[in-house]
A and B are shown apart, each in its own frame.
Chain A
Amino acid sequence: MSTDTLAAELETALPTTLFRFATAGSVDDGKSTLVGRLLHDSKAILADQLDAVARTSADRGFGGDKGGIDLALLTDGLRAEREQGITIDVAYRYFATDRRSFILADCPGHVQYTKNTVTGASTADAVVVLIDARKGVLEQTRRHLSVLQLLRVAHVIVAVNKIDLVDFSESVFRDIEADVQQVGRELGLGSDGISDLLVIPVSALDGDNVVERSGRTPWYTGPALLEVLETLPAADELESHLESFRFPVQLVIRPQGALAPDAVAAGLDVEAYRDYRAYAGQITEGSVKVGDQVSVLTPGQDPRTTTVVGIDFAGASLEEASAPQSVAIRLAEEFDVARGDTIAAAGTVREASADLYASLCWLSPKPLREGAKVLVKHGTRTVQALVRNVNGKLDLSTFQLEQASTLELNDIGHAQLRLAAPLPLENYLHHRRTGAFLVIDPLDGNTLAAGMVKDHPGDHEDERYSI
């Protein structure tokens, strides 16, 4: 394409939106190859990167006499990964089409796979799970799907890879598809009106159904993987109608005369900003308008209701703002509002609670024990907590909760914690941000677990979501 044509295209192109997705898979199912294929075929790989990979592929004799390039080398970047031919840590990749910019979290299946999958899936709009067509649904596939259900990932796409190695057999694909749908039903995946489950036959090595639909799978009439990724609604589009405004306060902007010199030089009215006071944060859910009634939630105090009088962003006054915008909000009354407080649509938040019931994905080699003291980071607040009970862990073959008094690395379980201060906890099923928290080790500061708030046992919870 000439630069003139490109300039014209850039000129007329609509601004793209962002779509985040993750890939998860088991050992040797060709995930790095799939990611390499997506990047390569969407032309996100530049000439010098391809040259380097081609040289290394040739040095290692990749593909035997046929030659070719080992697409996995495009993503495996660390020394140990190249030396051992494995992927160690979540890697982030970037590519764009005319419609969307993509952030891809490439989650390895080897060591600490739950940790990696949870990390990648926590911010993802969609997750692509790979299955080797020769092996079908494995224990790790079930584990991956249960983690994705637990994390409420909006779209789960199962790519049945290496379809070339089963001679593009429809019956092999249909059997695997049926197994996947069965696991999905057991988990409740795709049955809640928000999430969905798609199955696509692909060959990452040859590119079938990755970017373009393949002529070698005539029995498959659905879209190629990239088409799916380009058209699925992002999580914030899907969730916007379920949510009310939520705004954890990060900090208070109160310059008290110490105004930015460049703003003053640009004509900022110093007098008008002498008593400026605004609450800075990122809207986690919903939207807010000037004039809206909001509640300020401070742990240990009754909610205080007031009116939004301004929404500021770097010198611009907004009438309205929505998730995930970062803004600064001004309120009618001079409440004492501080970091850790939450501003929410008035009357939509349940009472703060010091009793926390949750699902935990345990991500640390240090096991969880009853009686342990931990830290809980929720929104912009971190509080001490006591682990009162471990209420069981998930058996991945039956998806039933089994007796357990401890959680170990990669375990998924239920626990009850007592918080040192009440927090405005919300059910993760309906609030992917204000229902999420971290469990942190107070000794070394490491992250121990990903936590998802559940309703108290007495409350009516939909059984489908009982994981």
Chain B
Amino acid sequence: MSTSVTEETTQVTDSAVSTRLSSLDTLESEAIHIIREVVAEFEKPALLFSGGKDSVVMLHLATKAFWPGKVPFPVLHVDTGHNFPEVIDFRDRTVERLGLKLVVGSVQEFIDRGELAERADGTRNPLQTVPLLDAIQQNRFDAVFGGGRRDEDKARAKERILSLRDEFGQWDPRNQRPELWNLYNGRHTVGQHVRAFPISNWTELDIWRYIERENIELPSLYYAHEREVFARDGMWRAVGEVSRPREGEQVITKTVRYRTVGDMSCTGAVESNAFTVSDVVVEVAASTLTERGATRADDRISEAAMEDRKKDGYF
């Protein structure tokens, strides 16, 4: 049966649907479509899960995509060893609650074996690349979901939703496939894999509005709490096993929260009175600093710090 042009144009009426989905519903729908595409087209996907808010939202979207079935892939945590204890606790509880398999790639083990060297500045975020690629190879993951967002960084702003990586996990920004309509091309050859970023188009504020709307649990340090901190590089650093004040750095107790969660030794807290998720939504909407600018010492090294790490196979 064929529908001709004239038949279709005569259907034009004034009753054009004007009730559009909200931007959050549109973003959610797009992310779920991408998650399902990757699961359908790849042999062995995994989801990077750090317990950070973006990865928590990713996992929540995955549960919605396959409801009432289980999330059909394992989660992968690249553990810097420099953890906030409450985040590891949250990770383990979440994995248990959803009945997921957890794969851990440990930076510490690589350092212990002499395959990675501790950096002079002590931060371990850039050291995650080697254990990440090792875990991908060992487990033969051909697609790895990440919670990367394009609003985070100028290099990420140019990355595709499906990002092809070579044997070394490298990203080649000058040689990316065009991404057309909602047709995602995930074809890859032996040794290559794909990083998939279903929430590429979300902003930090979208993430928080979604967490509020969906009532998603997060590690407690995302909300204001009292903590012993000291000032370094214009940020508040937590006092912990791997994060000790140097001489002259005074420890004080402040009401703070974290906007991002990473290596404890280089992730800064912000002073905040946002005790609830709706407080945080307001705070983020009013913020004059980007989340990485406010809280990540490793992104302050140079204008292109993220690009350099990604070219080497980082998330």
Question: Are B40 and A380 in contact, with the CB atoms below 8 A?
Answer: yes
Which residue in B21, B28, B97, B293 is a CB contact (below 8 Å) of A46? B293
- Interface residue stretch chosen among A64-72, A138-146, A223-231, A440-448: A440-448
Question: Are A450 and B66 in contact, with the CB atoms below 8 A?
Answer: no
Question: Are B155 and A10 in contact, with the CB atoms below 8 A?
Answer: no
A460 on the B face (CB < 8 A): yes
Question: Are A77 and B29 in contact, with the CB atoms below 8 A?
Answer: no
For B288, what are the chain A residues with a Cβ–Cβ distance below 8 Å?
46-47
Minimum CB–CB distance for B158 against chain A, Å: 5
For A193, what are the chain B residues with a Cβ–Cβ distance below 8 Å?
9, 12
Question: Are B289 and A450 in contact, with the CB atoms below 8 A?
Answer: no
Question: Are A77 and B155 in contact, with the CB atoms below 8 A?
Answer: yes
A445 to B281, CA, bound (A): 42
A206 to B205, CA, bound (A): 29
Within 8 A of A (CB), among B59-75: 63-71
A103 to B32, CA, bound (A): 18
B282 on the A face (CB < 8 A): yes
Question: Are B70 and A94 in contact, with the CB atoms below 8 A?
Answer: no
Which residue in A78, A115, A116, A462 is a CB contact (below 8 Å) of B173? A78
Question: Are A325 and B158 in contact, with the CB atoms below 8 A?
Answer: no
A234 to B286, CA, bound (A): 28
Asked if A10 meets B71 with Cβ closer than 8 Å, knowing A94-B150, A241-B15, A351-B1, the reply is no
Question: Are A89 and B66 in contact, with the CB atoms below 8 A?
Answer: no
A356 on the B face (CB < 8 A): no
Within 8 A of B (CB), among A246-265: 250-251, 253-255, 258-263, 265
Asked if A56 meets B21 with Cβ closer than 8 Å, knowing A6-B285, A258-B70, A349-B1, the reply is no
Asked if A280 meets B68 with Cβ closer than 8 Å, knowing A238-B16, A363-B178, the reply is no
A47 to B293, CA, bound (A): 9
For B21, what are the chain A residues with a Cβ–Cβ distance below 8 Å?
17-18, 324-325
Minimum CB–CB distance for A383 against chain B, Å: 13
B228 on the A face (CB < 8 A): no
Minimum CB–CB distance for B225 against chain A, Å: 19
Asked if A18 meets B33 with Cβ closer than 8 Å, knowing A48-B294, A78-B304, A445-B185, the reply is no
Question: Are B68 and A263 in contact, with the CB atoms below 8 A?
Answer: yes
Question: Are A255 and B69 in contact, with the CB atoms below 8 A?
Answer: yes
Which residue in B24, B40, B99, B183 is a CB contact (below 8 Å) of A15? B24
A273 on the B face (CB < 8 A): yes
For A115, what are the chain B residues with a Cβ–Cβ distance below 8 Å?
178
A91 on the B face (CB < 8 A): yes
A406 on the B face (CB < 8 A): no
A57 to B289, CA, bound (A): 19
Asked if A445 meets B187 with Cβ closer than 8 Å, knowing A259-B68, A326-B36, the reply is yes
B92 on the A face (CB < 8 A): no
- Interface band, chain A: 35 or more
For A58, what are the chain B residues with a Cβ–Cβ distance below 8 Å?
none
B253 on the A face (CB < 8 A): no
Which residue in B69, B177, B308 is a CB contact (below 8 Å) of A446? B177
A62 on the B face (CB < 8 A): no
Question: Are B66 and A260 in contact, with the CB atoms below 8 A?
Answer: yes
Asked if A123 meets B185 with Cβ closer than 8 Å, knowing A89-B174, A241-B17, A260-B69, the reply is no
- Interface residue stretch chosen among A165-173, A413-421, A429-437: A429-437
Within 8 A of B (CB), among A83-100: 88-94, 96, 100
Which residue in A96, A119, A251 is a CB contact (below 8 Å) of B180? A119
Asked if A325 meets B25 with Cβ closer than 8 Å, knowing A237-B17, A445-B188, the reply is yes
A60 on the B face (CB < 8 A): no
A101 to B20, CA, bound (A): 13
For A47, what are the chain B residues with a Cβ–Cβ distance below 8 Å?
288-289
A191 on the B face (CB < 8 A): no
A48 to B281, CA, bound (A): 20
Question: Are B68 and A255 in contact, with the CB atoms below 8 A?
Answer: yes
B200 on the A face (CB < 8 A): yes
Minimum CB–CB distance for B245 against chain A, Å: 25
Asked if A240 meets B16 with Cβ closer than 8 Å, knowing A258-B69, A326-B32, the reply is yes
Minimum CB–CB distance for B87 against chain A, Å: 20
Question: Are A236 and B63 in contact, with the CB atoms below 8 A?
Answer: no
A287 on the B face (CB < 8 A): yes
For B252, what are the chain A residues with a Cβ–Cβ distance below 8 Å?
none
Question: Are B20 and A122 in contact, with the CB atoms below 8 A?
Answer: no
Minimum CB–CB distance for A35 against chain B, Å: 11
Which residue in B3, B183, B293, B308 is a CB contact (below 8 Å) of A350? B3
Question: Are A6 and B286 in contact, with the CB atoms below 8 A?
Answer: yes
For A76, what are the chain B residues with a Cβ–Cβ distance below 8 Å?
154
With A18-B21, A280-B65 given, name 18 new contacts (CB 8 A): A15-B23, A17-B22, A46-B289, A56-B303, A89-B173, A92-B150, A122-B180, A237-B20, A284-B182, A314-B63, A324-B33, A326-B30, A380-B37, A430-B5, A436-B181, A437-B183, A445-B185, A461-B5
